[in-house]
Amino acid sequence: MNTLLPSATVLASDFELNSDTVTPGVLGFLVVFAIGVGLYFLMRSLMGKLRALPKDDDFAVRSSSGDASAEDTAPRT
């Protein structure tokens, strides 16, 4: 086990990579594609949640009338 690191460095020094032929390949494409698909569904979910939020005019009416009703229905301890 102690000779694993020195032997790996010796083998790595003999191995040369050609920068013209080294590519991410199919696995790299699939990882980027999966991230893109996940991002699409996350953004779709976010837009649905943002559309469900009340507009500015509706929010002002709800907050002013909702405060009084919230105090009436609050449980007393």
Q: Which two tokens stand for residue 42?
A: 């996350």
- Residue 29 is predicted with a pLDDT of 94
Please enumerate in sequence order all residues whose Cβ is within 8 A of that of 11, keeping only pairs 6 or more positions apart, or say none: none
What percent of the chain is predicted at pLDDT more than 90? 34
Question: For residues 46 and 14, which has the higher predicted lDDT (pLDDT)?
Answer: 46
pLDDT, tens only, 26-54: 999 999 999 999 999 999 999 999 998 88
Question: pTM for this one?
Answer: 0.48
Domain ranges of the chain: 3-64
